[in-house]
Amino acid sequence: MSYKYAIITNTGKDFFTYQNRLDFFLRGYPANVWVIGNNEKGALWLAEKNGVEKTKTEAQAIVDAEISTSQTQWDNLPEADKFNDRRPTDITLP
């Protein structure tokens, strides 16, 4: 399966619909990065949302930067505050 990559803000209700989920692959990642199945309906949804398209390398770099910032923040937490959560893990986009 091939994908498109884009920056899009989730606007809430009807941002993506039940039917969208049946029609094409869609997954959200940190920093408003979305991975969209590269078919006709996926491309139409991306255009309708005015998504800012990125290459896979660009999208991965945006996610990496977000995760890196979060990891630094977590490292600087007091030990007691680390109980609730784990250190953010690197994410590899499909």
Of the candidates 28, 24, 29, 26, which has an alpha carbon nearest to the alpha carbon of residue 39?
A: 24
32, 50 contact by CB (below 8 A): no
**The one among 2, 17, 55, 57 contacting another protein by CB under 8 A:** 17
Structure tokens at 85: 């959560």
Residue from 2, 10, 55, 57 binding another protein (CB under 8 A) = 10
Residue 66 is a binding residue for another protein (CB under 8 A): yes
Residues 6+ apart with CB under 8 A from 52: 6, 7, 8
Q: In whole angstroms, what is the distance from residue 3 CA to residue 9 CA? A: 18
Report in angstroms how near the CB of residue 48 gets to another protein at its nearest: 14
Q: Is 48 in the site for another protein (CB under 8 A)?
A: no
Tokens linked to 36: 């969209």
Residue 15, interface with another protein (CB under 8 A)?
yes
Instruction: Please report where in the chains the tokens 């255009």 appear, as a residue.
Output: 47
Single residue of 38, 54, 70, 93 touching another protein by CB under 8 A: 70
Name the site residues for another protein (rule: CB under 8 A): 10-18, 20-22, 26-30, 63, 66-67, 69-71, 73-74, 80-81, 83-86, 88-89, 91
